[in-house]
Amino acid sequence: MTKRLRETERLRKIVEAFPKVTVTVLGDLVADEFIFGEISRVSREAPVLILKHQERSVVPGGGANAVSNLADLGVNVLPVGVVGDDEPGRLLLKAFRHKHVPVSGVLKDKSYTTVTKTRILAGMTHTARQQVVRVDREPEAEPNRHLKRELVLAAREYARASDVLLISDYGYGAATPAILNAVRYKGGLRGVPVVLDSRYRMLEYSGVTAATPNEPEVEAALGVRIGHDWRTLCAAAEQVISRMKLQSLVITRGRDGMVAFTHRHKPADIPIFGSDQVTDVTGAGDTVIATFTAALAAGAEAEDAAHLANYAGGIVVMKRGTATVSQQELLQALDQAPPATRTH
């Protein structure tokens, strides 16, 4: 058996083990709403298009999209978060139940507004729809003290029964560094690994196992410009690993794929799977963190987990809207092309 065949077979065994693992997701649960319309005419009131409404859909976004991706990968997933007593919150819970995801760890509160991102897409008959505007509805404040205490208790209870804890922090207050510290207080996690996806404040977390930021997030956190400079990228990664005390770090780079950094091996520069002419990047980061976390939970080394996350990312960006990748799609991708790395 050749080296490439051995690598592919190793990755297949990891994916096939997904149904045997459990992941707790502590995250900001978001409802992604899509409103589709056909261009009717130009308004007489203002120079804007009038759209004839065609359809509407609401799907899990943010941390809820990470949950949805884990479920479709076959993983046993336990979500912990907050939704409001409103239609978007009810639709998120309905989507979880439809995928047989337990919802007892999702707190429902009348004083909280479910984070909802509404994308309005327009097009002509037989043409691709284009996003013309996005409207975000957000709670006026973070979850209150009582809700945060309940989040800590639920996350601690579920994480202890899980192989990995995934933190999906979109900045809305349900997955903050303080909440994670409270979950871990006095050995609360009992050694369960923690994987982090934080949009705005990853350096405020310390002692997590792994993180999967994109390159702009690393640049913003460190105040550097990476561009196409390999040495600058590696130096930035070393700084992030040191400051956060990480065991591994994956930096996603859009059409340039991703790079996996660990203490034991040299960086693995992984080219994008599939076409670089993407259809939609909405939620792709959630797919990456979900697949990477699932693989770690199944016992994969960080580089193998990154390869699988790269396959999943390459699949999902060819789908429109907030989408997921299934276990079967991942296995089919492995059959299409062996894992690849670039040399430096």
The strand pair at 76-84 and 22-27 is best described as parallel
Longest C-alpha distance within the chain, in Å?
69
The strand pair at 106-109 and 164-169 is best described as unpaired
Answer whether 314's CB lies under 8 Å from 325's CB.
no
Residues forming a β-bridge with 73: none
136 CB burial (10 A radius; 0-12, 13-18, 19+): exposed
In the annotation, is 286 catalytic? yes
Q: Which residue has the tokens 């760890």?
A: 105
The one catalytic residue among 28, 286, 304, 335: 286
Interacting residues of 321 by C-beta distance below 8 A, sequence separation 6+: 32, 34, 57, 59, 119, 280, 282, 283
3-state secondary structure of 275: coil
Q: Which residue has the tokens 């697949």?
A: 291
Catalytic residues: 286
